[in-house]
Amino acid sequence: MAKYILGIDEGTTGARAFVIDDQCTVLGLAASELTQHYPRPGWIEHDPMEILSVQLEVIRAALRQAKLQPSDLTAVALTNQRETGIVWEKDTGRPIYNAVVWASRQTVDVVERWVDKGHGDMIEQRTGLIPDAYYTASKIRFILDAVPGAQERAERGELLAGTVDTWLIWNLTGRKSFVTEYSNASRTMMFNLETREWDDDLLAVYDIPKRMLAEIVPSDTIVGDIGATFGADVPIASNLGDQQAGLFGQAAFAPGQSKMTYGTAGVLNINCGEQPQRIAGLTPSMAWGVQGKVAYEIEGVLFAMGKTMQWLRDDLKLIHAAPDSEWYAGQVPSTDGVYLIPAFTGLSAPDWDPYARAAIIGMSNATTRLHIIRAAVESMVFQTRDVVEAALTGSDNIRIPELRVDGGAVKNNFLCQLQADVLGIPVVRPQIAEATVFGTMLMAGLSTGVFSTLDEVAGMWREDRRFEPNMSRDQADSMYAGWRAARELTKGWARNVPSAG
């Protein structure tokens, strides 16, 4: 008899739910948007009750589409936006404040305070993370400060805090399971990368009572069931942060296996095996705990990937739709030395310069919009080489034999081919474009016996197209050298030219 897995994908912009069978055929898919609240410039919040209600709604819709009842399911799988923090009342389940979203900058001064007091090194050493407002710790601190009496209530054990996975699981299980897992926990800035526990010294620095925090378990733990919400005791059998779920969905189970996601932003994830690796400019995290083993990963975040296409479309009006970029870029044999550095909000990995600003450089009278569009597509390729090179030069033992790719922009064949050319390794696009939710569904299938081994799971990953490098190394290196020179020029711009904003 066929077995069915429900995949819950709680993202920043909205909620989705998938139902697949044991051959990975999609039987149901539903999506709905989530309201974004911007209480002040740079602040982003979500209503946790809406996160829950929208998620429940899409789960029901996906089941209806698949013509299945909850009791037909074998497993529930979860993946979610990472780092976002929620604090709620243990007794009533009511959030005391909105969810503070990962991208929100409202806690920059909270983090500055910790760094000014000299805790920056300890934070980085224990968690692997360079102290930043992205991570959950400062969001929880912010909420406890913003709501009168919250700190005292937290100390009395009346409040719970967690990332979105913890919030959803607590609610889906009828408030029975209060848990998180390695990949989500390692993005909170409260998690010790070596002991794989909450770090007591850091919690003391943050003044966050440990009793507010969930139990940390391996990612494939059966943490409870959805009986209380869906009337059928289907186990929640996997839980992974979105990027790690994507790495799992690309079947990157061995050290060195990597994936690059070309979405609005870009994220390179490299499986590093059972020990954390520290590489300048890149972020170490946990990939997962599965089948009694743990894996670590290294991550390189690029702020502007597909975002640059949106800018060409919405602001410069050079293209009508992002996919048009493929055709335009192919109309000229090269950019003739034009580079577009998309440092709109500064440079991300591996340079991390918040003062850098975007630039188009190298134009002549012969430059047309075709060159600029091509330079924009090329910027995705060169940024990827930046993070791949940082990983290779910063580590003795990482080898990257090929790059598996996903995200909205990988339909662009020009992009994939040029990526293979510039890196000098094959770029491989899978048939399944939704690596993230498939990753967690495959893990849930593994923990409930739908699949028996990691090898069998790897067999579910199928290639759509393989792009072999087809450019001389000299040519690739000289194109890339131009990019590096151009990128240097953007550094520190907003500091040197204050009107740059």
Contact pattern for ligand ADP over residues 179 through 208, marking x by CB under 6 A: ------------------------------
Burial degree of 86 (CB within 10 A; 0-12, 13-18, 19+): buried
Q: Taking a C-beta distance cutoff of 8 angstroms, is the pair 181, 289 a contact?
A: yes
Residue carrying structure tokens 């950019």: 335
- What does the alpha-carbon distance between residue 58 and residue 152 come to, in Å, rounded to a whole number? 37
Is the CB of 186 or the CB of 412 nearer to ligand ADP? 412
Task: Please tell me whether residue 36 binds ligand ADP under the rule CB under 6 A.
Answer: no
How many residues sit in the footprint of ligand ADP (CB under 6 A)? 15
Buried b (16+ CB within 10 A) or exposed e, 45-80: bbebebbbebbbebbebbbebbebebebbbbbbbbb
Taking alpha carbons only, the member of 16, 243, 208, 224 closest to residue 114 is 208
Span interacting with ligand ADP, options 141-149, 304-312, 442-450, 487-495, rule CB under 6 A: 304-312
Task: Please tell me whether residue 306 binds ligand ADP under the rule CB under 6 A.
Answer: yes
Partners of 225 in the beta sheet?
A: 235
Instruction: Restricting to residues 310-349, name those near ligand ADP by CB under 6 A.
Output: 310, 322-323, 325-326
Is the CB of 38 or the CB of 121 nearer to ligand ADP? 38
Smallest separation, CB 46 to ligand ADP (Å): 15
SS3 of residue 319 by DSSP: coil
Question: Quick one: which of 307, 357, 374, 487 contacts ligand ADP (CB under 6 A)?
Answer: 307
Span interacting with ligand ADP, options 90-98, 172-180, 222-230, 306-314, rule CB under 6 A: 306-314
Main-chain dihedrals φ then ψ at residue 408, nearest 5 degrees = -55, -30
- What residue spans of 221-364 are helical by DSSP H? 227-230, 242-249, 306-314, 324-329
Q: What is the CA radius of gyration of the chain?
A: 22
Task: Please tell me whether residue 55 binds ligand ADP under the rule CB under 6 A.
Answer: no
Instruction: Restricting to residues 218-277, name those near ligand ADP by CB under 6 A.
Output: 263-264
Task: Please tell me whether residue 409 binds ligand ADP under the rule CB under 6 A.
Answer: yes
Task: Please tell me whether residue 412 binds ligand ADP under the rule CB under 6 A.
Answer: yes
Span interacting with ligand ADP, options 35-43, 405-413, 459-467, 492-500, rule CB under 6 A: 405-413
Is the CB of 95 or the CB of 306 nearer to ligand ADP? 306
Q: Taking a C-beta distance cutoff of 8 angstroms, is the pair 123, 189 a contact?
A: yes
Smallest separation, CB 372 to ligand ADP (Å): 14
Smallest separation, CB 101 to ligand ADP (Å): 14
Span interacting with ligand ADP, options 69-77, 138-146, 155-163, 307-315, rule CB under 6 A: 307-315
Question: Quick one: which of 411, 424, 465, 482 contacts ligand ADP (CB under 6 A)?
Answer: 411
Q: Taking a C-beta distance cutoff of 8 angstroms, is the pair 38, 407 a contact?
A: no
Q: Taking a C-beta distance cutoff of 8 angstroms, is the pair 78, 10 a contact?
A: yes
Residue ranges that bind ligand ADP, judged by CB under 6 A: 263-264, 306-307, 309-310, 322-323, 325-326, 407-409, 411-412
